Every structure is written in structure tokens, then in C-alpha cells.
Structure 1
Amino acid sequence: MPAPPPTGPLVTRDTIAAQLRLLGVESGEILLVHSSLSSLGWVNGGAVAVVQGLLDALGPSGTLVVPAQSGDLSDPAGWANPPVPEEWWDRIRATMPAYDPLITPTLGVGVIPETVRTWPGALRSAHPQTSFAALGPHAHDITDGHAPDCRLGERSPLARLEKLGARVLLLGAGYGSCTAFHLAEYRIPAPLVEVGRPAPGGGWETVVEVSIDEDRFDELGHDFERDRPVVRGTVGAAGVRLFPVADAVAYAERWLAVHRPRGEEISHPRA
């Protein structure tokens, strides 16, 4: 039986760039992009064409930033999708490869960020679990100095993006993917957690971190979009949202303080 024809629309590098410009993406700006390739339609050239279109819209003076997370560099005791046998845990901890920004792949953020990570000239921040990758003139300023005990807080690229006036582009992605909201968690009372991961020089280490939790980010995003100016449109078949990082963080600080009050005790989760 012949395969069904592809589902459109046909999306190309130039249509991506043109539609982003119509939405208000400006040459020279800084964009933090959360994306879903499959939401766009039939993309001629796949993730490469999407990255090219984004770079075309931003121009040579613009900077493209993506999450480059590698959450699999974590304690196997907390793995649930799928779990691994408990008798494996010690051996996994002892042999897990340390984070290397050049070779550690992204996980769970989609093929577009992985394409940016491996793009010629891309820079990647140093946090072993919640790094960001960037292309453009501000890439070094954004990715440099990501503290190993600050996943998404004041010493992470998120705070740099806020200071530099960057905007978030949700390209077929929902508010549940909006990492900017996490910066607000560092500015309200939040519990601390112990996070395990492979140590840079080999072996295993545990660091104390602020707890982060995106479970209610879709609800937060709904209220944010209702109350604050958010550019809405489409690129290909994908729904798109465009808004300043600073607006999202400020709104999330107020919203989380009311809707998700949290204590400050140290907890000890498995991962």
C-alpha cells in the first residue's frame, strides 16, 4: 500500500524567515527559541532549514539561543521513563561520562536545538544538565560563566538574556517549555534540593540547587498571555508566541508567589 502524501503546508527556509519578520522578529535582536519541528508542517530541509530561517530573520547582528539540556546526566535512582534496576545504580554513577559541551548531546528539547548545538560557531554554556547553546555576536556574553550550582537562576544564561532585552519565541512549543519562567523560581522562596550528576574530573558529585518545577507553566502561560502583550501568529502550521524574557520573568514572580507558595527546607530527592 503506497504511503500517504505528506501533510502540509510546505515550509521552506525563506517562508520561515518571511513569516517571522511579519510577526515582528527584528534584525539584530536576541531570541530564545523553544521549538517543535513536527508542528511546522512539511519542512524542506528539516531542522537545518529552520535554523537557517531563524538566522536569516535575525540577520548577522542577531543572536539565536536555544536550550541545550542534558538531563540524562542525573542520578539513575530518579529515572522513571524508563526506570533502571536498582542494582545498576552504583555502576551507572561510577561510569557515566562527564559533561562535555562539545560532545554531550541534548535530550528532550527537540532536533532544532541539537542542530544549533552542532552548528559551526555555536557556543554552549557550562552547566552539565541545563546548558544553553547560542549563535551570534552575543553568544559568548550569554553562555559564559554559567555556574555549576545554578541551573536556571541569576548565574545562568537566563539572567543574561533578561538583562540584554532578549525575547522568547515559542515556535510550535507550549508555555510548558518556557524556561524563562524558571528564573522566577530563584526569586521567590523555594525549596533546595540535592542534585546528583557525574563530576567533571570523573566520579560522582552532589550539589545543592534551587528546586525547579514546570508542572503549572501551561496555566501560568495562559494567565500571562491574558494579562500581558504577547505577539501571536503562525509559522507554517505552527502556533507562535513572541514576548520579552523580562516580562515573562516578572509576571511569573508574582504568579508563582500566589499560586505555588513553597517552603525553604532542603529536600533530598533521588535525582
Structure 2
Amino acid sequence: MTTDAGTPGTRRSLAAQLRLLGVRPGATLLVHAALRPLGFVCGGPQAVVLALRDALGPDGTLVVPTHTPDNSDPAQWRNPPVPADWWPLIRAEMPGFDPAVTPSRYMGVLAETVRGWPGALRSSHPQVSFAALGPAAEQVMAGHDRADMLGEGSPLARLHDLDADVLLLGVDHGVNTSMHLAEYRRPSPPRERLGGAVRTADGGREWVWWQDVRLDETDFGALGRDLEATGAVRIGPVGTGTGRLMRQRAAVDFAVHWLARNRTMEDA
């Protein structure tokens, strides 16, 4: 990363930018990040994690998504799909989700760095786990309900309880997972059957099914633009990229009303 002065980004310079953006010491902060837009950072993802923790201070808690969307029913895979005659084998052989060892997928290197950080705690959901570092980590990670995966039984709801912040670092609102909590808060949201492999108490594995809300992030970009128009999102430079910081409670509450106005029951 290069700054305006033409020097590489560092732990110190990123922490200063994060403070200017409004990262609150002592806050609980959910971060969605892509590091490439930040440019060259001396120390890479490790330095970014350290900068985030410096900005949050010792009383702050850093939270990241560590989802595993490939641990899902292969009948629903689209990018790419797999042959139907593979489905039984995948369901029978997919390793059971283990919070301690199962890597996240498609969440970026920052999330993986936090997941493997000494002292990090991870929630137990086989598809949409989160990981956290800091004093509130246990409170946020505990009791992640399988059949309420991004709803009231999830870390997202615990973040709402704590009036946490959300930081979009080099990414846009299309990946703002907190908006899914608003989908659960709609009247009678549509539901679907989901599946995944879990680790059993004896160290084995099994395939499990559950009913959950059908998630849809296709309009989150438009939702986010309207949220920004209210002034609820602070936008500023982080490295050569852009950070978007918001109070999670305000964003979710706005999204509940926005979805009621902009999605029909058929869209739901």
C-alpha cells in the first residue's frame, strides 16, 4: 500500500486512519475486508489485524465472518453446479465442521488471519460461523443456533445487543452480513431446507438438515447506497482503499424498514 506521501502502509499508519474514520476504542467491531484495495501494507494481513486492534484498544473486540458456504447441500450449488449423482457422495463424505480446524472459504485472508490468531473464539455454526478476539468474544460467539443462523440466535443479534460497529474495508454493502439480520425481522420471511456436515461428540461426522430463512443479498448494494444517503455511514481512506464505518444497530434497523418498502412478498 502507498499513502499520499508515497510510503508503504504500516500498522501505525492504518491505525491512525482507522481512528480518523471513527473506530471507537472499546467498541465491538465486525469487519468485512478485502485487502488488495488497500494497496501495499508492510506486514500484510497481520499488520492490518494489529492496526485494527490498536484502534480498538485493549477493551475492544474484533469480529470477522468465517463462513464455510461449501459445507452445504450440493443440490443448491450453482457456481459451479455439480452432477446430481455426486450429491449423495458429497453428503456422505463432507468433513464435519470443526470450529478449531475448518478453514473459512471466500471470506478473505483477514478473516482467516483472525480465525487462527491465538485466543480467537469461533462460533459453532457449520455454514456461517464468526470468529472474535477481545473481551466480548465469548458473549458474541456463544450459542449460535443452527436453525437461526443469521437471526436472533446468531452473533449478529449479539452485536446488535452490544451496539457494535460494522467496518467495510475495501468492500461494499453487498457483503454486509448484518443486513441479513433485517431479513429475519421481516414478518413471515420465506424459509428453505438447508444441510451441512457437522462434527459429532465422539469425533465422527454426520449430515444434518434444518429449516432456515432464505437469504438474499442481491439488493444490498441499493440498500447500502440509501443508508449512506442518510449520513449514517462514515467513509474515509484506509491505505489506498476506502473504509465504510457504521453503527450496526442503526444499519439493521434502517434495513428492516427499507426491506419493507422495497421488497414485495413475492420478492421475499
Give the TM-score category using the shorter length. Answer: over 0.9
Structure 1 alignment gaps of length 5 or more: 1-6, 266-271
Paired residue secondary structure (1:206) = strand
Q: Distance in 1 between matches of 2:136 and 2:198?
A: 29
Structure 2 counterparts to residues 1-271 of structure 1, below 5 A:
8-9=2-3, 10-189=8-187, 190-201=189-200, 202-262=205-265
TM-score (norm 2): 0.93
Q: Which amino acid aligns with 1:115?
A: T
CA distance in 1, matches of 2:127, 2:159: 19
Q: What is the letter of the counterpart of residue 232 of structure 1?
A: I
Residue 74 of structure 1 aligns to a residue in which SS?
coil
Equivalent position SS for 1:208:
strand
Query: In structure 2, what is the Cα distance between the partners aligned to 1:145 and 1:132?
Result: 12
4+ residue runs over 3 A deviation: none
The question of whether the paired residues in 2 share the 8 Å contact of 1:34 and 1:178 is answered with yes
Post-superposition CA distance 1:183-203 (Å, at most 9, x none)? 000010310100011144323
Alpha-carbon offset, residue 264 of structure 1:
11
- State the one-letter code of the partner of 1:130: V
Return 102-111 or 192-201, whichever deviates more: 192-201
Q: Percent identity?
A: 52
Task: Specify whether residues 26 and 264 from structure 1 end up closer, same or farther in structure 2 by C-alpha distance, changes over 3 A only.
Answer: closer
CA deviation profile, 1:59-96 (whole Å, cap 9, x unmatched): 11100001111111001122222222222111111010
Q: Alpha-carbon deviations, 1:9-52, whole Å to 9, x = none?
A: 42111111111111121211111111111010111111111001
Does the CA contact (< 8 Å) of 2:98 and 2:198 recur in 1? no
Q: What one-letter code is carried by the residue in structure 2 that aligns with 1:195?
A: L
Q: Under a length normalisation based on structure 1, what TM-score does the superposition of the two structures give?
A: 0.92
CA distance in 1, matches of 2:87, 2:40: 42
Question: Which has the larger displacement, 155-164 or 76-85?
Answer: 76-85
For the aligned residues, what is the CA RMSD? 1.5
Residues 251-260 or 200-209, more deviating: 200-209
Shift of 1:230: 1.5
Work out whether residues 38 and 170 of structure 2, in 8 Å CA contact, stay in contact via their aligned partners in 1: yes
Q: Distance in 2 between matches of 1:27 and 1:252?
A: 26
* Alpha-carbon distance in 1 for matches of 2:107, 2:263: 25
Contact 1:191–1:263 under 8 Å retained in 2:
no
| CA distance in structure 2 between the partners assigned to 1:43 and 1:210 by the alignment | 39
Query: Does the residue aligned with 1:241 lie in a helix, a strand or coil?
Result: strand
Deviates more, 1:75-84 or 1:14-23: 75-84
Aligned to 1:43, what secondary structure does the other structure show?
Answer: coil
